[in-house]
Amino acid sequence: MSSPKKDRTEINKLHKRLRRNVGSAIADFNMIEAGDKVMVCLSGGKDSYTLLDILLHMQKIAPIDFDILAVNLDQKQPGFPEHVLPAYLKDLGVPYHIIENDTYSIVKRVIPEGQTTCSLCSRLRRGSLYGYAKKQGITKIALGHHRDDILETFFLNLFYAGKLKAMPPKLRSDDGQNMVIRPLAYCKEKDIEAYSEHKQFPIIPCNLCGSQENLQRQAMKKMLENWDKNTPGRVESIFSSLQNIAPSQLADNQLFDFSGLQLAMQETDQKDIFASDSAGLGILQ
């Protein structure tokens, strides 16, 4: 049984590690700039709670000024505890807004019973959040995706879509009107879980599909967990590879001009040639 002092030490290390990782991601990708109006999207899950908590801390200590607006999308799922987030945010004293949009009915009407609803739900949710952000003059939309989410997406695309593609820490929307940031990009899910448990965030489960699991994503999650347990350092190495890409060592003609690749001609300075010739003529004379 661990001592209270040891527990406090571990929690302090956890806090510092998460804040350091978030600070590094923000700096590396220039996620937040002076005067930004950052919309933190809250789902009621551990990731978005942690994101808001750490960004509020960063706001206090950052050398620049930026605003934070917490936003939740109420999708009108039956039984959704709509009082939980407003009560929590009021206690925090953070500006917030609840968007009410019945995407639940749309998903249930369009997707046949038993099929995965996550894709359509995500698109509808994203559309609602993007639309609100544009109306409110939001400059950055902060999402709670972490390192494990990024890697799971990478392997899903690799195994099932034939693409080398993941979740970028910073993304401009297709219409060019919104900028999405993922400040938790360097954070491990297990650290976020431990932080969430310590902070005792009022977690709200996703009941839109009965906590329906995306089986392919769950398989990727399990694979990463096994690697992390049995081969320490492998997951970190894979994530580092996403930041260390060599296009000429892959096979994408759109990314690297393989068709135009030719042998380099040996270039000799013409002056050296003439100097050599002149020297030779001098000897002959």
Identity of residue 147: R
Instruction: For 55-64, write each residue's pLDDT tens digit.
Output: 999 999 999 9
If pLDDT is split at 50, 70 and 90, which confidence band does 285 have?
very low
- Topology at the third CATH level for domain 4-212: Rossmann fold (3.40.50)
| Whether pLDDT at 26 is above 60 | yes
Q: How many CB atoms lie within 10 A of CB 131?
A: 14
Percent of the chain with pLDDT over 70: 85
The pLDDT value given to residue 37: 98
Where are the strands (E) in the chain, listed by range?
A: 37-42, 67-74, 96-100, 140-142, 170-172, 179-181
* Residues 205 and 47 sit within 8 Å (Cβ to Cβ): no
Lowest mean pLDDT segment, chosen from 143-152, 160-169, 205-214, 261-270 = 205-214
Position 93, amino acid: G
Give the integer Cα–Cα distance in Å for 65 and 67.
Answer: 7
CA distance linking residue 238 with residue 15, whole number of Å: 24
Q: Please state, in angstroms and rounded to a whole number, the distance separating the CA atoms of residues 246 and 252.
A: 11
What are the residues facing 74 on neighbouring strands? 100
Residue with tokens 């068709």: 259
Judged against a pLDDT cut of 70, whether residue 6 lies above it is answered with no
Please give the average per-residue pLDDT across 280-285, as a whole number. 46
User: Residue 117 is encoded by which pair of tokens?
Assistant: 């609803």
Residue 236 — pLDDT band, cuts 50, 70, 90?
very high
Which segment, 29-33, 116-120, 269-273, is predicted with the most confidence on average?
A: 29-33
Find the helix or strand (DSSP H, E) in which 35 lies. Answer: none
This prediction has a pTM of: 0.86
The pLDDT tens digits for 126-169 are 888 999 999 999 999 999 999 999 999 999 999 999 999 999 99
CB-CB contact of 121 with 194 (8 Å): no
Return the structure tokens found at 248: 């000429």
Tell me the one-letter amino acid at 281: L
Look at residue 284 in the predicted model and tell me its pLDDT.
43
List the domain boundaries for the chain.
Answer: 4-212
Residue 283 confidence (pLDDT) above 50: no
